[in-house]
């Protein structure tokens, strides 16, 4: 085959997954090309102009700790920042920013352009080329140009065979009125990839001048902003406010009266929609007892008058959209600039992937993002990063990066994808992690910087800085354990004023800190020997002391799991030939081909006796 250009890695798609994949591969020293149907859509946000949110904020910080770009891009382009769930405990604190959609795109495009080993090419990839062994050897574009590549990462988002539905009208399209990617599906099927149809949707964008803000509740950002990235420094400020309104009985009446004109209800959409992100017509039908539904009115950027209506995703006809929006308080005279629509697209069955996000059947072919059945920019970016790293690791002949559930939300996300599979677009949630208390936003650096450093995306300087921080945390914890506070009228008076009991004997500060009512900051008045420490240090010390019991409980669970996690199953194992495995288990194992015994144990239909049989088999092979 003759190639126009030779690369190590070809990334198909330049959305949030593709961008991270390409940056990771190029930064790891590989010649990389990123293909996109339109350069103007790089890192576009075709839906919500925001980054983060519950569990998604965790993902962004983890991406940062591994050496990805998303957190820095969000810090550079945000309009408003909030930490959600304050007061519900540190494990569920989540950053969320309102982002400037155009600035975010421009920032990311510039970052890609500045990466020396990365080529950016506008073009639709229509074929994955394989060599005699069935491994990836390149990609072909619609123009017939062929590019050599040892790995291809599919990050096609909602472009792949995209079909937009609005009312009775359907047409082939990518998101935000881009061209769809129509050729690639057939090529993937030919390679043995199972494709499915998923569906998602987005609400209308409306003109600022048509909104009556005086009738809306205002929601401002936090006064004290902490950045997404552990490396962002300097002052950050909020530039916009968001607003809240509610649907009402009239809105619901209009929607219900026009349901027959919805492609979802008339059966024209075959794709499976997400449970967590229902359209407004879904909400009104499924939760008919709710008298109102909330919507958020959010600015799309500083250089535009467009506002996004979070919560009002719909595929009803345009006239119905206008009618029901105008029934909402504050939107009585609303002007739609872009209508809401539903979009159907092709995605793979994630059970066909290894945890490295490589297809089991096609060496060198990787998938990331919505193509793998997830939803959300953050979920996509996390997978893109992992796929990019693993494509590079394989080409470099190095150990793959497999993050297990105990390390991160990224690991949890990927394990869910490749072990349980998904039946509707998958969104990350804190409730999906059984190790929540260990996997906090605030300690993402501690958890993942070592991985990023080993891989080569995190500098030695950053790694050493983390080690120093951890030492300082340990030292402060030791000091708090050793320093005792004696009972005195002042101490007892203060404790009582915090609504906790006085002390009767000299008590270590650490012990007092364990009381929910006592904070590190509060203890300052009695802690004269306290050293001057950065917030990131004393905050970790405080958290570790406060949650010691729970952290220990979770660490025990982690230890239990990691023993199984470390037992790797050989790739060539023939499950049908293993004596003692039940048929159901053998079939499931053969389909999923788990990488480790730990992963095998989470497959539904594989019971502990099957695991014992596998363990024996593993050990007996030495």
Interface with other proteins by CB under 8 A: which residues? 47-48, 54-55, 84-85, 87-92, 203, 246, 274-278, 283, 286-287, 290, 292-294, 296, 310-311, 313, 420, 429-434, 436-437, 515-517, 547, 550, 553-554, 560, 563, 578-582, 604, 607-610, 612-613, 615-617, 619-620
Query: Residue 255: CB partners within 8 Å, gap ≥ 6?
Result: 280, 281, 284, 316, 320, 324
For the CB of residue 57, give the shortest distance to other proteins in the complex, in Å.
11
For the CB of residue 493, give the shortest distance to other proteins in the complex, in Å.
20
For the CB of residue 589, give the shortest distance to other proteins in the complex, in Å.
14
For the CB of residue 578, give the shortest distance to other proteins in the complex, in Å.
8
Question: 154 or 495, CB closer to other proteins?
Answer: 495
Q: Give the C-alpha separation, 60 to 555, whole Å.
A: 23
Do residues 52 and 29 lie in contact, with contact meaning Cβ atoms separated by under 8 Å? no
Question: 138 or 594, CB closer to other proteins?
Answer: 594
Question: 84 or 533, CB closer to other proteins?
Answer: 84
Do residues 137 and 129 lie in contact, with contact meaning Cβ atoms separated by under 8 Å? yes
Q: Give the C-alpha separation, 535 to 84, whole Å.
A: 19
Strands, E assignment, 374-518: 484-485, 507-508
β-bridge partners, 133: none
Question: 203 or 594, CB closer to other proteins?
Answer: 203
For the CB of residue 512, give the shortest distance to other proteins in the complex, in Å.
14
CB environment 79-104: b (16+ within 10 A), e (fewer): bbbbbbeeeebbbbbbbbbbbbbbbb
Question: 106 or 555, CB closer to other proteins?
Answer: 555
Question: 273 or 400, CB closer to other proteins?
Answer: 273
Closest CA to 117 of 33, 235, 2: 33
Question: 84 or 470, CB closer to other proteins?
Answer: 84
Do residues 64 and 228 lie in contact, with contact meaning Cβ atoms separated by under 8 Å? yes
Question: 92 or 125, CB closer to other proteins?
Answer: 92
R_g of the chain, CA atoms, integer Å: 26
Q: Which two tokens stand for residue 485?
A: 């506070």
Question: 491 or 498, CB closer to other proteins?
Answer: 498
Residue written as token pair 């499931």: 588
Question: 5 or 587, CB closer to other proteins?
Answer: 587
Do residues 14 and 44 lie in contact, with contact meaning Cβ atoms separated by under 8 Å? no
Q: What are phi and psi of 505, to 5 degrees?
A: -145, 170
Q: How long a stretch of residues is the chain?
A: 622
Region class of 214: left (phi > 0), else alpha (psi between -120 and 50), else beta: alpha
For the CB of residue 445, give the shortest distance to other proteins in the complex, in Å.
19
For the CB of residue 567, give the shortest distance to other proteins in the complex, in Å.
11
For the CB of residue 242, give the shortest distance to other proteins in the complex, in Å.
9
Distances (CA, A) of 331 to 53, 246, 257, 344: 26, 10, 20, 29
Closest CA to 385 of 418, 424, 411, 346: 411
For the CB of residue 99, give the shortest distance to other proteins in the complex, in Å.
15
Do residues 527 and 541 lie in contact, with contact meaning Cβ atoms separated by under 8 Å? no
Ranges of H-type helices in 456-514: 460-482, 489-497, 509-513
For the CB of residue 282, give the shortest distance to other proteins in the complex, in Å.
9
Question: 39 or 83, CB closer to other proteins?
Answer: 83
Question: 130 or 310, CB closer to other proteins?
Answer: 310
For the CB of residue 610, give the shortest distance to other proteins in the complex, in Å.
7
Strands 163-166 and 294-299: unpaired
CB environment 436-459: b (16+ within 10 A), e (fewer): bbbbbbbbbbbbbbbbbbebbbbe
Q: Which two tokens stand for residue 329?
A: 């308080």
For the CB of residue 92, give the shortest distance to other proteins in the complex, in Å.
5
Question: 127 or 405, CB closer to other proteins?
Answer: 405
Q: What are phi and psi of 10, to 5 degrees?
A: -115, 125
For the CB of residue 490, give the shortest distance to other proteins in the complex, in Å.
23
Q: Which two tokens stand for residue 174?
A: 């990518």
Query: Residue 154: CB partners within 8 Å, gap ≥ 6?
Result: 12, 13, 128, 184, 188, 348, 365, 366, 367, 368, 371
């Amino acid at each position: 085959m003759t190639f126009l250009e030779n690369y190590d890695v070809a990334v198909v798609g330049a959305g949030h997954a593709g961008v991270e994949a390409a940056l990771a591969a190029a930064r790891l020293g590989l010649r990389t090309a990123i293909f996109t149907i339109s350069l103007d859509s790089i890192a576009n946000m075709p839906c919500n102009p925001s980054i983060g949110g519950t569990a998604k904020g965790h993902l962004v910080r983890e991406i940062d700790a591994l050496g990805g770009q998303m957190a820095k891009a969000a810090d550079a382009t945000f309009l408003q920042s909030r930490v959600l769930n304050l007061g519900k405990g540190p494990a569920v604190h989540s950053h969320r920013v309102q982002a400037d959609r155009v600035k975010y795109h421009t920032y990311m495009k510039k970052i890609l352009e500045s990466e020396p080993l990365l080529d950016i090419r506008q073009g639709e990839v229509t074929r994955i080329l394989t060599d005699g062994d069935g491994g990836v050897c390149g990609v072909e574009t619609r123009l017939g140009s062929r590019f050599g590549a040892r790995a291809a990462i599919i990050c096609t988002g909602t472009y792949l065979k995209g079909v937009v539905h609005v009312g009775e009208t359907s047409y082939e399209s990518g998101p935000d009125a881009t061209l769809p990617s129509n050729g690639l599906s057939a090529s993937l099927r030919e390679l043995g990839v199972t494709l499915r149809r998923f569906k998602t949707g987005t609400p209308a964008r409306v003109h600022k001048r048509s909104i009556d803000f005086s009738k809306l509740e205002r929601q401002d950002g936090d006064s004290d902003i902490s950045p997404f990235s552990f490396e962002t420094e300097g002052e950050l400020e909020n530039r916009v406010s968001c607003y809240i309104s509610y649907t009402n009985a009239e809105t619901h009446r209009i929607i219900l009266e026009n349901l027959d004109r919805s492609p979802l209800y008339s059966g024209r959409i075959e794709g499976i929609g997400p449970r967590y992100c229902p359209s407004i017509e879904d909400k009104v039908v499924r939760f008919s007892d709710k008298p109102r539904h909330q919507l958020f009115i959010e600015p799309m950027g500083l250089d535009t008058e467009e506002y996004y209506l979070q919560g009002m995703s719909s595929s009803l006809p345009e006239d119905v959209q206008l009618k029901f929006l105008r029934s909402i308080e504050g939107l009585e005279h609303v002007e739609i600039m872009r209508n809401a629509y539903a979009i159907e697209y092709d995605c793979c069955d994630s059970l066909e992937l290894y945890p490295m996000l490589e297809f089991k059947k096609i060496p060198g072919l990787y998938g990331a993002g919505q193509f793998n059945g997830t939803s959300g920019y953050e979920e996509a970016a996390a997978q893109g990063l992992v796929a990019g790293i693993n494509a590079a690791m394989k080409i470099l002949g190095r150990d793959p990066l497999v993050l297990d559930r105990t390390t991160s939300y990224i690991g949890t996300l990927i394990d869910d994808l490749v072990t349980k599979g998904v039946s509707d677009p998958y969104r990350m949630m804190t409730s999906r992690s059984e190790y929540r208390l260990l996997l906090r936003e605030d300690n993402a650096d501690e958890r993942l910087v070592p991985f990023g450093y080993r891989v080569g995306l995190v500098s030695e300087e950053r790694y050493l800085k983390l080690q120093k921080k951890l030492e300082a945390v340990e030292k402060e914890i030791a000091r708090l354990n050793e320093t005792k506070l004696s009972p005195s009228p002042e101490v007892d008076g203060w404790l009582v004023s915090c609504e906790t009991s006085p002390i009767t004997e000299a008590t270590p500060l650490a012990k007092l800190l364990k009381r929910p009512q006592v904070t590190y900051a509060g203890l300052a008045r009695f802690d004269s020997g306290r050293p001057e420490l950065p917030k990131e240090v004393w905050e970790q010390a405080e958290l570790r002391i406060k949650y010691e019991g729970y952290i220990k409980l979770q660490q025990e669970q982690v230890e239990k799991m990691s023993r199984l996690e470390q037992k790797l199953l050989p790739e060539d194992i023939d499950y049908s030939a293993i004596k003692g495995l039940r048929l159901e288990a053998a079939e499931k194992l053969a389909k999923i081909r788990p990488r480790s015994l730990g992963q095998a144990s989470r497959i539904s239909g594989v019971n502990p006796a099957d695991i014992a049989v596998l363990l024996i088999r593993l050990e007996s092979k030495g």
